[in-house]
Amino acid sequence: MSLPARWNLSALLLALGSFALAWFALPDGEIAVHFGVDGQPDEWGTRTELVAVVGGLCLATWLFLAWMSHSADRLHWSMVNIPRKDHWAKPEHEPVARRRLAEDMALVNLWTMGLLVSICPVMVLSARRGELTGPLAWSVWILIGAFCLALVAMMRHRNRFYRDVPEA
């Protein structure tokens, strides 16, 4: 199994396990499933509805990113935006660039699933409390910001691979 395939599978297992745990941790009966900008619940449902909707969105995102990773070797170069494309599109460099593109997409998938999974504890806590205000609300923004910064740092680091090529 290739490295991108292992990362994609890891991301899927992480998400499925996390949403299964969240379902068991959520209380029975009616719970808050959506919160307004003021942090107060404005929609109610069951734990099954909440996990199904959030898990379904997560699965759809995973499928798209896994497909992109799997299709990296078949994408036409006009659909790929990388630095120094003229260098990487040459037949002698193309296999390395396509392998790296597949790895990059699999890493984005893993990081995206990590973000969605990290929101599960907040989802459970807010459903149990019936509100998403105060430190709990701030934790969501801090969590999202931390994941976005980590993703940007990772992609900037990996982007050097495409830029740092010997001049012809």
pLDDT digits (tens, 9 = 90+) for 54-69: 889 999 999 999 999 9
User: What residues pair up with 148 in beta bridges, in sequence order?
Assistant: none
The answer, yes or no, to whether residue 40 has pLDDT greater than 90, is no
Given pLDDT bands bounded at 50, 70 and 90, which one contains residue 1? confident
User: So what's the pLDDT on residue 28?
Assistant: 87
- 69-87: per-residue pLDDT in tens? 999 888 888 888 888 888 8
152: Cα separation from own chain's centroid: 13
Phi, psi of 139 (to 5 degrees): -65, -35
Token pair for 143: 């969590």
- The pLDDT, as a whole number, for residue 125 is 82
Cross-strand bridge partners of residue 41: 35
Number of H helices, E strands in the chain: 6, 2
CA distance 161 to 141: 31
Q: What is the pLDDT of residue 161?
A: 81
> What's residue 34's pLDDT?
82
Q: Looking at residue 91, what DSSP letter applies?
A: T
- 112-143: per-residue pLDDT in tens? 898 888 888 888 888 887 777 778 778 878 88
Tell whether the model's pLDDT for residue 9 goes beyond 90: yes
Query: Does 168 have pLDDT greater than 60?
Result: no
| Averaged pLDDT score across all residues of the chain | 86
Predicted confidence band at 167 (pLDDT cuts at 50, 70, 90)?
low
For the stretch 143-156, pLDDT in tens is 888 888 988 888 88
